[in-house]
Structure 1
Amino acid sequence: MKPISEHELAEKLRKQYIESPPEGMTPYDIKYMSDSDLLDMDYFLHEFDDDDDFEEEDFYLF
């Protein structure tokens, strides 16, 4: 399978988020975001998706 480029991923995410924008954003906002801003937004929206067992007591600042 051919790896997907950052630009291709950003365009795929752009289409997804234009159809269903995150709370507080409009399709217009998404349409004119840079690829890197869009990828960053997606990362932060899904940062803890894989860690369903995350609890506050598991988080420590040193």
Structure 2
Amino acid sequence: MEYITEAELAKKLREQYIKEPPENVTSDEVREMSDEDLLDMDYFLHEFDDFDDDDFDEEGFYLF
């Protein structure tokens, strides 16, 4: 496993999101974000990626 610093991760994410910005965000906004804001945005974009979608396909499953 390769370890990278938050600054290195933010740099990689910034390059990725400038090329393909998330919905409702422009490339210019990504350029102007602080490293912390960029890492937060990435976290929230992928917050539920670890959940298996099959767990939520059952009829009667609701979030309140």
TM (normalized to structure 2)?
0.80
Partner of 2:29: 29
Aligned-pair identity (%): 58
RMSD: 2.1
Gaps of 5+ in 1: none
Cα offset for 1:52?
Answer: 2.3
Q: Within 2, Cα distance between the matches of 1:43 and 1:58?
A: 24
Runs of 4+ in 1 over 6 A off after TM superposition: none
Gaps of 5+ in 2: none
Partner of 1:52: 52
Amino acid in the other structure paired with 2:23: E
